[in-house]
Amino acid sequence: MKKHFIAAFAIAMPLTSALAADKPAPELEKYNRTGQYETCLTSHRIRETRILNDKQILVTMIGGDAYLAEPKSCPGLSKGLALSYDATIDQLCNTTIIHLLDTSSPVPARGSCGIERFEKLEKKQ
């Protein structure tokens, strides 16, 4: 009997994790997704970049605009990390490599990846 319980539990855990991963990040509840995309954002207009989870990055701009980035392959993307990128051309683009940093670690580098596009978000009324 114990073996069946453990097996059922082992099967239920991945399903529960998958369902939780599909829930939108709470920070996105105040926005509607527009389906309109940009390939570049002007760096000096970026107020904040916030990693929401292992799949999404919220970029808020001076003036209130917001964009959602969902990198297709970004191993190591995690809510507790910071982002770094080279802004010498004053743009964050789909060709820009972002670096993941753990600022609390003596070895802060946690990987790198690219962002394919930025979806414009619209504030809910």
Alpha carbons 34 and 116: distance in angstroms, whole number: 16
Alpha carbons 101 and 108: distance in angstroms, whole number: 5
Is residue 89 within 8 A of residue 42, CB to CB? The reply is no
Residue 102 above 90 pLDDT?
Answer: no
How large is the average pLDDT for residues 88-112? 86
pLDDT in tens, 52-82: 999 999 999 999 999 999 998 888 898 888 9
Alpha carbons 119 and 6: distance in angstroms, whole number: 42
- CA end-to-end distance (rounded Å), the chain: 54
25 pLDDT tier (thresholds 50, 70, 90):
confident
Is residue 119 within 8 A of residue 33, CB to CB? The reply is yes
Q: What integer pLDDT is reported at residue 123 of this predicted model?
A: 94
> pTM for this structure?
0.77
Residue 21 above 70 pLDDT?
Answer: no
**Domain boundaries defined on the chain:** 2-123
Alpha carbons 23 and 28: distance in angstroms, whole number: 10
The residues, ordered by sequence, that sit 6+ positions from 16 with a Cβ below 8 Å of its Cβ are none
Residue 19 above 50 pLDDT?
Answer: no
Alpha carbons 43 and 85: distance in angstroms, whole number: 10
